[in-house]
Amino acid sequence: MSHTTKYNVQITDAECAIKALQRMGFRDTQIEEHENGAELFDYGGRKMNLKANVIVRRNNLSGAVNDFGIRIGEDGGEILADGKQIDPERLMQYYGVEKGLKEADAMGYFTSEEVMEDGRIRLRMRR
């Protein structure tokens, strides 16, 4: 049986959240985007009374797990997942990189990234 946990996070941009999931290995066809949110389902196909804006359905995951999702909010959001589905810290790192790249691009900066030995990602920006 799978248990969904809510992780409070600062995710305000669905596009960057989707790109973060892609960095984690999820394909476009596995990721759903719902502007107004859509229902999550448990491992048995029952509604969980939880809605998310970005969703990876359980049939795209291994084992008996629930759907997992990301609720996007103007002042933050939530990752709705269990520990078998996704590493919230890694997702937030990739989200931060994608958000930084998007904002730098909007300001006209050229960017590059470097993965450090410990797994952290360093962004460099220049005009």
The two tokens of residue 26 are: 């999820």
> What confidence score (pLDDT) does residue 74 get?
87
Q: What is the dihedral of CA 41, 46, 47, 52, to 10 degrees?
A: 0
> What confidence score (pLDDT) does residue 55 get?
98
Is the pLDDT at 1 greater than 60? The verdict is: no
Share of the chain above pLDDT 90, in %: 82
Question: Out of 8-17, 43-52, 77-86, which region has the weakest mean confidence (pLDDT)?
Answer: 77-86
E-strand stretches of 42-109: 47-56, 68-71, 77-81
pLDDT tens-digit series, residues 49-97 = 999 999 999 999 888 889 999 999 988 899 999 767 788 999 999 999 9
> What confidence score (pLDDT) does residue 2 get?
61
